[in-house]
A = this chain, B = another copy of it.
Amino acid sequence: MSDLYAVADFCLIPIGTGNTSVAEEVAECQRVLAQSGLTYKMHGYGTNIEGPWSKVSQAIHDCHAAVHAKGSQRIATDIRIGTRIDRQISTGEGNVGKVARVEEILAKDS
């Protein structure tokens, strides 16, 4: 089947590292994403990412592979992923577009 355009967000957690900080592992993911060619943006509890479904999935897989290579024996990730066919999303503008539309509505409140 065709590759749907996916607007997503993920939060990766290494398990069994003996270290309560996960910053090194999250930084490693950012390095992987920088190589992916996809649009992404880290926030306080995850990273927004979007692109063709197969590429988004591959990028998150490669984050797991890279974090395993750094020594984490087990990893759990939560992914939120959305697709739509009612309209075309301009590449890389799915997540920022969603925020913009909410802010437009809120701007009318005052």
CA of A36 to CA of B61 in the docked complex: distance in angstroms? Answer: 20
Q: List 27 A-B contacts (CB under 8 A).
A: A2-B65, A4-B64, A4-B68, A8-B45, A9-B11, A16-B21, A20-B84, A23-B101, A23-B105, A26-B98, A41-B43, A41-B44, A43-B48, A43-B95, A43-B99, A44-B99, A45-B80, A46-B46, A54-B61, A57-B57, A64-B83, A68-B85, A73-B84, A73-B86, A74-B85, A75-B84, A78-B80
* Residues of chain A at the chain B interface (Cβ within 8 Å): 1-4, 7-9, 11, 13-24, 26-27, 30-31, 41-46, 48, 53-54, 57-58, 60-62, 64-65, 68, 73-86, 94-96, 98-99, 101-102, 104-106, 109
